[in-house]
Amino acid sequence: MAIIATLGILIGFGIVPFPFFDKFSEKQQIAVVGSVPCPINPAKHVSPEKIELTLLNGTDQTGLARRVKAEMEDRGFVVTATDNTPSGEFTGSVLIRAGALGVNRAYTVSEAFSESTIEFDSRQNTSVTITFGERFDNLIDADQFAAAIRGDIKPRTGCLPVSLGDD
């Protein structure tokens, strides 16, 4: 009886895992604003012609977003706006933001750059925003980009699943 009581106490305080209900009691983490989202299944790239982009210059280089616009359009993307970041400089390379409906689009856009970060935000449409930072140097070759988007999307390390609101 003492063994059962001790085992019950150890399980109750989480010191010893209960073998049957452990997976059921875990709440699955989902992407929140600022986290890295996982692609939405099916994890397929989206045709660039179906991706609307806003390009933001997060550097002190005058006209950077406008210069990149032509290269993005050459790769088939639809650039709807260029501007400077409203919050000042961005020190990284490329920051790609999208909401739940634009996650696979963000992954497709990321293939155009050798280094980029994908970040989840709260927008409720399919648009994607790219912020170019101080470490941005250039896009990858157009042929390499075309080859990269032929394959399936590869999730980023540490990504979190996205809730589409139908759960």
Confidence of residue 27 (pLDDT cuts 50, 70, 90): low
Q: Please name the residues in contact with 94: beta carbons below 8 A apart, sequence gap of 6 or more.
A: 110, 113, 115, 116, 117, 130, 131, 132, 133, 136
Average pLDDT of the residues in 15-41:
73
pLDDT tens-digit series, residues 136-149:
999 999 999 999 99
Q: Say if residue 119's pLDDT is above 90.
A: yes
**Would you state the pLDDT for residue 21?**
53
Q: Say if residue 18's pLDDT is above 80.
A: no
Edge to edge, what strands does the sheet with 117-120 contain? 78-84, 52-57, 128-132, 94-98, 117-120
33 or 22, which is more confident: 33
Pair of tokens at residue 37: 């989202």
Q: Say if residue 58's pLDDT is above 80.
A: yes
Taking the whole predicted model, whether its pTM rises above 0.75 is answered as yes
**Would you state the pLDDT for residue 111?**
97
Average pLDDT of the residues in 93-98:
96
